[in-house]
């Protein structure tokens, strides 16, 4: 089974979740989703990132606080990334841009990160973190 983290849901529960990492087909930006395990099988729980128009920088994504306001605390508690100070508006919502922790994402979802990094043409090495900043 994959590595999991605890998510404290706004709906009053605690869930063991794992990460799913991929790219959005229309722009190649990083997609990060959450999965839970019901009866031993992975089930989609929700999306950390949201697909907005344009291209976000490598290793960055707009976080969907509109649908899951608990994500800021979840990201901070699990050392998944940091807020860049930038946001993007879509409709009536404003989404914060996060720079995700490359090493932590590799630890939590190695196959997804390998595919993501191949899609952006980055070799897997320690210097990638500094270049992403």
pLDDT, residue 133, reads 52
Task: Output phi, psi for 73, to 5 deg.
Answer: -65, -40
Measured between alpha carbons, how far is 37 from 119 in angstroms, rounded to an integer? 28
Q: Is the pLDDT of residue 126 over 60?
A: no
User: Which DSSP symbol is given to 101?
Assistant: -
Q: Are 101 and 107 in contact (CB under 8 A)?
A: no
Q: What are the extents of the domains in the chain? A: 5-132
Q: Is the pLDDT of residue 33 over 90?
A: yes
| Tens of pLDDT, residues 35-89 | 998 888 889 999 999 999 989 999 999 999 999 999 999 999 999 999 999 999 9
């Amino acid at each position: 089974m994959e590595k999991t983290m605890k998510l404290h849901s706004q709906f009053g529960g605690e869930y063991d979740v794992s990460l799913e990492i991929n790219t959005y087909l229309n722009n190649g930006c990083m997609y990060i989703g959450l999965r839970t395990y019901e009866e031993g099988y992975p089930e989609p729980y929700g999306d950390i990132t949201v697909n907005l128009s344009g291209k976000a920088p490598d290793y960055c994504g707009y976080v969907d606080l509109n649908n899951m306001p608990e994500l800021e605390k979840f990201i901070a508690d699990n050392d998944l990334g940091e807020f860049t100070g930038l946001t993007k508006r879509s409709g009536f919502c404003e989404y914060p841009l996060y720079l995700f922790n490359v090493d932590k994402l590799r630890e939590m979802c190695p196959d997804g990160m390998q595919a993501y990094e191949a899609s952006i043409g980055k070799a897997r090495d320690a210097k990638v973190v500094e270049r992403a900043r």
